[in-house]
A and B are shown apart, each in its own frame.
Chain A
Amino acid sequence: MKTVRIGFSRRTGRAMVVGLVAVSLFAACSSDADSSTSDGDSSSTATGAPTSDAPSTDAPAKQGGTIVIGAEQEPDCLDWIATCAGSIWGSYMMQITTIPVVFNVRQSGDDWLPALSSIMASEPVVTAGPPQTVTYTLRSDVTWSDGEPITSADLKYTALQIRDGEDILDKTGYNLIDDIATPDAQTAVVTFTAPYAGWKTLFSGSSGVLPSHILEGNDRAALMKDGYSWSGGPWIIESWKKGESVTLVPNTNYWGDKPKLDKVIFQFTADTAAAFQAFNSGQLDALYPSPQLDAIEQIKAGLSGANVEVQAASGNLEALWLNNASPGLDAQPVRAALAYSIDRAAIVNKVYGPLGVEQPAQSFFPPILSAFGGQDFDVYVRDLDKVTSLMTGDGWAKNGDGLWAKGDVVASYRITTIAGNKRRELMQQVLQEQLNEAGFGVTVANASPADLFGTLGPNGDFDLGLWTLVTTFPDPGLSYAFDSANVPSEANEFSGLNLTRTNVAGLDDLLRQVDVEVDEAARLAATQKIDQLIAESVTSLPLAAVPNILLTAEKIGGSTSINPSEGPFWNLEQWALVG
């Protein structure tokens, strides 16, 4: 299930590219918002900026028209399951809008959960087994844009392409498929080789369902990578002019609500300042900027004729990751002292305050998965007396430089983040200042994403790290990042993603239980216990949920909102011109 895109890892390809392409990095991705079905804005926070209210569905929407949306990143290819895919913007613009999935992600209360999509006739049936099986039943009246029905053969084709293919972005879950049977055109039965609690990620999230009648027997990569003219969603890709723009037009054979707009153009913008000026001047009708400081400043300054939607409850968790194997940091009291040295509320306020995000994150489950976690980290507020008692209690004393020392070990650490991300560099400087005051030495040692997640992380060559965990599909599995078996080592060919070397007694069992537990209640109990254990042992420190921001011109109405998993264009078919 690896439903998580993280700076490194399994979704790595994707996250990595995101990071590389936009100097704004991993956090560049994600989003939020209230769903069109909920009438409130339970998850949205209004900004302090002088902006008009978010558009509502009852604005007089017109049929037809063209809009131009600024896109910060260009995808490398559109072969979504291949390694060259992996741009989150590519998904937002062209995958979500054209590729059908089994589970969408929709808001349910405060959380965003998998919700059955409209290609499905009924909820898939799971038998625990062994072997575990999942039976999918498709609707019989859903079709591709060429009129051919979407069938179980498409599920089978997709699953096998991923399981057996080369250069696949992410085989997680698919590699557990033993067999996929198609007793009839609407029914597919997947049999697993091992229990798999995250089965809902299959045919959802980054993969989806591909048309076997077009691709089977052909070179899938060649047919898809530069764009394709078929669709199983509300839109069709009319053109992708490299370096310039992507144009979407309505899929007239779509079975659901058809798009209101005649055409949506995504224009690639390279420079943030220029993109904002273009939005201000009406050259661009919408922007989805990564929450960098200059973007926040621009929003604070007030954009002329703009609706600003900010989603604080995102799937992006920014955290201070501690290398639990570094000298000193291998002791819980030192990690706790570090946590008590940091004024997380002040940092969050400084960076995201203008967007209405004022509270630090208190759990390793991001807001969209808040139900799974607790508030266990809220005990860690800045308290220098506590730092002193914890450190002296563990046998440390301040040395001549005012830094904690114990024997040969001096509590002086490197802090690493992705070079070039202005927001993180700013946070880094604040952390440095606060930790210095508390008697911890901090030096900045930033790296490129490739170095950080390809070399430094796997080799444990860092002390403190600042990066964002991006959850793209709501599944609460955290074992990849906290299970001691996933500490990068010879045994897992350094592919483990427990970069922090977390190894807490009792944690591994709970994490593994979450991965295989099909019973939702038992799973929930386990995740909450996990959060508690991580907080007690302070193996790392969550800082903030990175908010998502969507800016739309006043002329755009209909129902615009951010889906933290599927992005801001998940309901693009409902966007319309008003007035």
Chain B
Amino acid sequence: MLRFATRRLVRSVPVLFVGSFLLFLAVRSAFDPLSKLRQLRDPEVIQRETERLGLDRSVPVQYMKWLKGFVTGDWGVSVRTSGDVRPMISDALVVTLQLLVPALILATVAAIAVGVYSALRQYSVGDHVLTALAYIGLAMPAFWFGLVLIQTLAIWPQRALDLEEPPLYFVGLHSPGQPHSLLDTARHLVLPVLTLTVGLVASWSRFMRSSMLGALSSDYVRTARAKGVPRRQVVVNHALRNSWGPLMTVVALDAALLVGGLLITEQVFSIPGMGRLFLTSLLAGDVSVLLPWMFVTGIAVITFNLLADIGYGLLDPRVRL
């Protein structure tokens, strides 16, 4: 088990390095870190910054220099804000996780419930309805769905009930100027979490359904049934145990990508997380933030994958790691 994890880790590290080098290359060729300063038309400033950032040296040398800084905790200064990059990313990460964790938990539970139901009642009316809903969920662009949710769950109830303020908020994660309270945060979280959850449940429940169907038709489940084990017990002990392992892998992979992939949800709901940080930095050509950003999300992906593999081993008795 430990050996397996170590092997995976050792194998992932070069991927991260090669990947970050390629990204470094791509970002460096697509963006000029001095573009903003160049507008000052001051050759001296350009010269000084070029030397400071080592832009006159070859890309591999620059990369090594950058990497050394990154590993030792010196992530540099943002070209856009002149502030330290590290707190910018860690602040954004915390915000994103506040949104992501509830969404993941909710989506996983819902996906398992829907998937199991659909598998047990394959081709029933309920299965068809859930399938149709999943497809509609997958066919709606997230920003559109977010706007629809704002309209239906915040604006309409407020008008219908003639409330001072909407029951659910949709700007930011807290009401500014008020002490943070759990209720306030929850009222801000519901809509973005729902926006996020619908897409996830739609795709995960389909996965769970087919994985569950596979398990239900497997030999050991049939054997167990034949031996007279009660249906409920078979479903829970055999089929379910064997089908959520694969789901966990998908959940972990998606979760990791979502750490940096919430661009749309964060944009619609004005949440200052990783996705917004990425967009702002990209539009400003702020290479100094984009690179560590990608590195951090990359590390998140690798970590989550590793956790998923380990968890898979723990959940699925058949897998020997």
B102-110, B169-177, B197-205, B243-251 - the one binding chain A: B169-177
| Cβ contacts under 8 Å, A242 to chain B | 88, 91, 272
| Cβ contacts under 8 Å, B270 to chain A | 267-271, 274-275
Q: Tell whether, in the assembled complex, residue A454 and residue B165 are in contact, meaning their CB atoms are under 8 Å apart.
A: no
Q: Is B266 located at the chain interface by the 8 A CB criterion? A: yes
Q: Is A450 located at the chain interface by the 8 A CB criterion? A: yes
Q: Is B50 located at the chain interface by the 8 A CB criterion? A: no
Q: Tell whether, in the assembled complex, residue B39 and residue A265 are in contact, meaning their CB atoms are under 8 Å apart.
A: no
Q: With A and B bound together, what is the CA distance between A9 and B174 in angstroms?
A: 38
A9 nearest CB neighbor, chain B only: B39
Given A167-B37, A244-B272, A267-B270, 8 extra CB contacts under 8 A: A9-B39, A16-B36, A21-B284, A76-B82, A242-B88, A270-B266, A274-B170, A277-B154
Q: Tell whether, in the assembled complex, residue A263 and residue B177 are in contact, meaning their CB atoms are under 8 Å apart.
A: yes
| Cβ contacts under 8 Å, B266 to chain A | 270
Mask, B279-320, CB within 8 Å of A = 1, is: 010011100000000000000000000000000000000000
Q: Tell whether, in the assembled complex, residue A21 and residue B283 are in contact, meaning their CB atoms are under 8 Å apart.
A: yes
Mask, B45-81, CB within 8 Å of A = 1, is: 1001000000000000000000000000000000011
Within 8 A of B (CB), among A58-106: 66, 68, 70, 76-77, 79, 82-84
Q: With A and B bound together, what is the CA distance between A20 and B280 in angstroms?
A: 8
B174 nearest CB neighbor, chain A only: A244
Q: Tell whether, in the assembled complex, residue A277 and residue B276 are in contact, meaning their CB atoms are under 8 Å apart.
A: no
| Cβ contacts under 8 Å, B147 to chain A | 273-274
Q: Tell whether, in the assembled complex, residue A277 and residue B150 are in contact, meaning their CB atoms are under 8 Å apart.
A: yes
Q: With A and B bound together, what is the CA distance between A84 and B39 in angstroms?
A: 12
Q: Is B83 located at the chain interface by the 8 A CB criterion? A: yes
Q: Tell whether, in the assembled complex, residue A66 and residue B177 are in contact, meaning their CB atoms are under 8 Å apart.
A: yes
Q: Is A131 located at the chain interface by the 8 A CB criterion? A: no
Q: Tell whether, in the assembled complex, residue B284 and residue A12 are in contact, meaning their CB atoms are under 8 Å apart.
A: no
Within 8 A of A (CB), among B254-276: 266-270, 272, 276
Pick from A243, A245, A271: contact of B95, CB below 8 A: A243
Q: Is A495 located at the chain interface by the 8 A CB criterion? A: yes
Q: Is A414 located at the chain interface by the 8 A CB criterion? A: no
Q: With A and B bound together, what is the CA distance between A226 and B91 in angstroms?
A: 15
B272 nearest CB neighbor, chain A only: A243
Q: Give B contacts to A, CB under 8 Å.
A: 35-41, 43, 45, 48, 80-83, 88, 91-92, 95, 147, 150-151, 154-155, 158, 164-166, 169-174, 176-177, 266-270, 272, 276-277, 280, 283-285
* Among B45, B147, B268, B283, residue most surrounded by chain A Cβ atoms (within 10 Å): B283
- List the 5 closest pairs (A to B, CB-CB), nearest first: A243-B272, A495-B41, A245-B176, A270-B270, A76-B81
B166 nearest CB neighbor, chain A only: A281
| Cβ contacts under 8 Å, A270 to chain B | 266-270, 276
Given the known interface contacts A274-B150, A277-B150, the answer about A265 and B177 at a Cβ–Cβ threshold of 8 Å is yes
Q: Is A530 located at the chain interface by the 8 A CB criterion? A: no
B38 nearest CB neighbor, chain A only: A454
Mask, A213-238, CB within 8 Å of B = 1, is: 00000000100011000000000000
Q: Is A278 located at the chain interface by the 8 A CB criterion? A: yes
Q: With A and B bound together, what is the CA distance between A68 and B175 in angstroms?
A: 10
Q: Tell whether, in the assembled complex, residue A267 and residue B83 are in contact, meaning their CB atoms are under 8 Å apart.
A: no
Q: With A and B bound together, what is the CA distance between A535 and B91 in angstroms?
A: 53
Q: With A and B bound together, what is the CA distance between A270 and B269 in angstroms?
A: 7
| Cβ contacts under 8 Å, A265 to chain B | 176-177
Q: Is A350 located at the chain interface by the 8 A CB criterion? A: no
A79 nearest CB neighbor, chain B only: B82
Q: Tell whether, in the assembled complex, residue B82 and residue A166 are in contact, meaning their CB atoms are under 8 Å apart.
A: no
